[in-house]
Structure 1
Amino acid sequence: MDYKQELITTIHDFGCDLEALEQRLIQLSEESPTAIIIPALYQELERPALKQIRDHLTTCSFVKTIVVCLYAETLEQYINTVNFFEPLPQKVRILWENGPRVMAVLEDLRDRGLDLVDHFGKGIAVWLGLGVASLEAEAIALHDADIITYNRSYPLKLLYPLLEKEFGLAFNKAYYARIGGNPPTFNGRVVRLFVAPVLRALSDLFGERNYLHYLNSFRYPLSGEFALTRDLALTTRIPATWGLEIGLLAEVYRNVAHKRIAQIDLGVFDHKHQKLGNHSQEGLQKMCRDILRSLLRTLTETEQVIITSDHIRALRVKFRREAQDLTRQYYVDARFNGLIYDRHPEEVTIEVFEQVIAQAGKEYENDPAGDQIPDWTRALAVMSDLRERLLTCCLEDVAEHTGQVLIHPQVDPNFKRSA
């Protein structure tokens, strides 16, 4: 049995009583409301995963608000999205992030000195969603829109540990086994073939730094499924690149005591897979590039490590050896479990990722600052009613474009909101 604990709290699933936990969470959520954020491109509505997610959420009475951060090209796509989520019994906020109303608010914010207009992608979607959700919830979970294996235990496991006050947790991140396909095989190439060997190689280069020890405590550091308290949501900077998950862990590292951080087992998990890409600006290569830049920047910020071109060259050599050693271990694990495992494409992927290290290192040397969206406390200092204005955008968009009656036109006046 796996009892192992890390620097952070690891919450295993030893056959937990989900029904009992759900009843407890329903009780807790009456006094401490919960929300879920789903960043989504419109194209996700055309795939089966999001329909399954929506159908499972209809049974989650412990979730009080659902914020869908939508990127849609046309009004027709926006209306289709509203109709798609209409069966949900919860309060649903469709935040049309690139719609005219939201863009007008962001342009007003820019005119006051904080420019977020040019940010597009998951980072700004998450940031906007946290702002709206924090108006109505004390615990906020976030997950992607492309999860194939989704079931109601996912939001339950993410949210419950935050609301059980005696646990004292502020951040809860998912971990899981990325296995899928027919016949089944290992997925999660970036974690297995890039992040894991890079962290080992960085530890070899710079020693057991606290930040690297912290990252190595997460069993799946790139999981896009996590939950956090409202206070943490408002004081956390959000990376604007594809290094969002690693960058977010860096922010949690800065802002939260280790004893208030947890990870929880979601079991076997699968979602849509990215292509490797033809160069460092595409697919998984771009993701790896942004991840490494985030790692190097945070090492310098938190551990006072000076990164040189010599370090990058050494990192490439050590990375290749660590990654190759891991493929041998993955092979044994896969064969024992009857999974398909072809070491040749794994080795080819490692070679591609090694080239990304060189490119990312050069880019970091030229621009070490990176691109992050300021935390909400700074935004509220510029525009104190920004969250309320974004919520109004949600309500006015749905009223104007669909004619739906607003069952929940106002935030619950009894809910105590932080500034």
Structure 2
Amino acid sequence: MEYTQERVATLHDYGAAAPDAPVGRATVVVPMTEREYAGLAAEGVLSTLATLDPERVLVPLRASAERVPAFCEWLDGFDLPLEVLWCSGPRVADLLDAAGLDGATGKGRDVWLALGLAANSAHVVLHDADAESYDERDVPKLLAPLAGDFDFTKGYYARVESGRLYGRLFRLFYEPLVAALAERHDAAILDYLGAFRYALAGECAMTADVARSLRVQRRWGLEVGTLGEAHRAVGVDGVAQVDLGFYEHDHRSVSGPTGLGDMSAGVGDALLRAVEEAGVDPDYGTLPGRYVETAERFERGYAADAAFNGFEHDAAAEREQIETYRESVTPPGPDARLPAWDDAPLSPADVREAANADLDAIR
């Protein structure tokens, strides 16, 4: 337990934080794919949301046509003002293609489509559906600062489960990469990015104005890119981070097309793009080596922390991950982000119309 402040305002839960919050004026966006269908974690999330009375729950759904009817029937079983936005339908694809926005699909694209529709509420909450430890206070905690001095909030939590430290992509990639950059560059953006206690958390909330202003990564890197965009939109003083306690949710392998190694490429691209856009010019010739050196120092600290608590810890495997992540310390590639809704060449109404027509055609 501690009460330390960071460069961004840090709001702690000392055991029973249950702040008043404008839940009834918020749309809660919960992206889902086929793997969430009737899952215990998703069931728990939606059942809990039903006790909170939000203005609306919006589910951007990425699923095949044959799975969608059953998925919608399952979602209809919850006592919620719930809207499904099917992101994989042909009319939605044609709409994006006609607007020049065709491209890679993924969680980021799904969230971007949902933000356009959600921003007609005063506030927007975004979180995943795989949290096994979901708490009814999570949404109010994220929203409460928006009723005061802040425009964007980020959740943070301890990734500790079953006697092990998780959060490997944050601990072994994001955190030491930001630290390695900060050793050479005195820049406000690095102070800001380094202040987040769990920058890769999917839980955040924002005002409608911020939601309409975000340029969004299509796939991996959504969470980091959103932090960079929040900084651009409202500055460090408009952002707070909120203590959500402990979280238990899915763990990924390092290898494979959806593994942490693949994710690190998207996270690195989003992070280094945000840094460059803020005026930092990294030395990519030396940065990979400096990252590895810093990451190994961080790993030794985490190994000591694990031993201190009697946790299982595989130091060799973590050092192997660092070498895997090293390949992602490269200059950002072409900017494939989706535009802010304020500047988009289509409207949220167009998206809703296309998505509803797609749903009607298969139901």
Matched residue, 2:167 = 188
Q: Secondary structure at the match of 1:3?
A: coil
C-alpha distance after superposition, 1:74-133 (max 9, x if no partner): 2x31111111111333321100111134334334xx2xxx32232310111011111111
Superposed CA offset, 1:249-286 (max 9, x none): 111111113221000011111211122115xx652112
- Equivalent of 2:114 in 129, 141, 147: 129
Q: Which runs of 4+ in 1 moved over 6 A?
A: none
Q: Match for 1:324: what amino acid?
A: E
TM (norm. structure 1) is 0.81
The letter of the residue matching 2:145 is P
Of 331, 339, 344 in structure 1, the residue corresponding to residue 316 of structure 2 is 344
Cα contact 1:142–1:227 (8 A) shared by 2? yes
Question: Which residue of 173, 176, 183 corresponds with 2:154?
Answer: 173
Q: Report deviation, 1:29.
A: 4.3
User: How far apart in 1 are the matches of 2:90 and 2:266?
Assistant: 30
CA distance in 2, matches of 1:211, 1:328: 26
Higher helix share: 1
Alignment partner of 2:327: what SS? helix
1:97 is aligned to 2:87: yes
Distance 1:400 1:298 in 2: 41
Q: Which whole-Å CA distance do the structure 1 matches of 2:141 and 2:77 have between them? A: 23
Q: In the alignment, is the contact (CA less than 8 A) between 2:23 and 2:139 conserved in 1?
A: no
Structure index of larger Rg: 1
- Decide whether the 8 Å contact of 2:59 with 2:84 is kept in 1: yes
Residues 17/245 of structure 1: CA separation in 2 closer, same or farther (3 Å cut):
closer
SS in 2 for 1:67: strand
CA distance in 1, matches of 2:354, 2:337: 24
In 2, Cα distance between equivalents of 1:401 and 1:255: 39
Letter in 2 for 1:303: G
Q: In the superposition, relative to structure 1, how do residues 100 and 295 fare at CA in structure 2: closer, same or farther (>3 Å)?
A: closer
Hey, what does 1:409 align to over in structure 2?
Answer: none
- Of residues 85, 96, 121, the one that matches 2:75 is 85
- Matched residue, 1:300: 276
Where do 1:13-412 residues align within 5 Å?
A: 13-18=13-18, 21=19, 24-25=20-21, 28-30=22-24, 33-61=25-53, 63-74=54-65, 76-107=66-97, 110=98, 114-135=99-120, 137-162=121-146, 164=147, 167-181=148-162, 184-204=163-183, 206-277=184-255, 283-305=259-281, 307=282, 311-357=283-329, 360-361=330-331, 364=332, 367=333, 369-379=334-344, 382-383=345-346, 386-393=347-354, 395=356, 402=363
Whole-Å Cα distance in 1 between the matches of residues 335 and 297 of structure 2? 31
Q: 1:124 to 1:243 in 2, by over 3 A?
A: same
Unaligned runs of 5+ in 1: 403-419
Letter aligned with residue 131 of structure 1: G
| SS at structure 1 position matched to 2:3 | coil
Kept in 2, the 8 Å contact 1:171–1:260? The answer is: yes
Aligned pair count reads: 363
Aligned AA (1:64): E
TM-score (norm 2): 0.93
Whether the 8 Å contact between 1:211 and 1:302 is mirrored in structure 2 is yes
Provide structure 2 residue ranges, at least 5 long, that are not aligned to the other structure. Answer: none
Coordinate RMSD, CA, aligned: 2.1
User: Alignment identity in percent?
Assistant: 31
Structure 2 distance, partners of 1:16, 1:48, is 26
Distance 2:101 2:143 in 1: 29
Report the Cα distance in structure 2 between the residues aligned to 1:16 and 1:257, rounded to whole angstroms: 30
Query: Equivalents in 2 of 1:401, 1:353: separation in Å?
Result: 42
Relative distance call for 1:397 and 1:312 in structure 2 (3 A) is: closer
For 1:42-66, what per-residue CA distance to the aligned partner results, in whole angstroms no more than 9, with x for missing partners?
12215321112122122112x1201
Change (3 A) 1:188 1:53: same
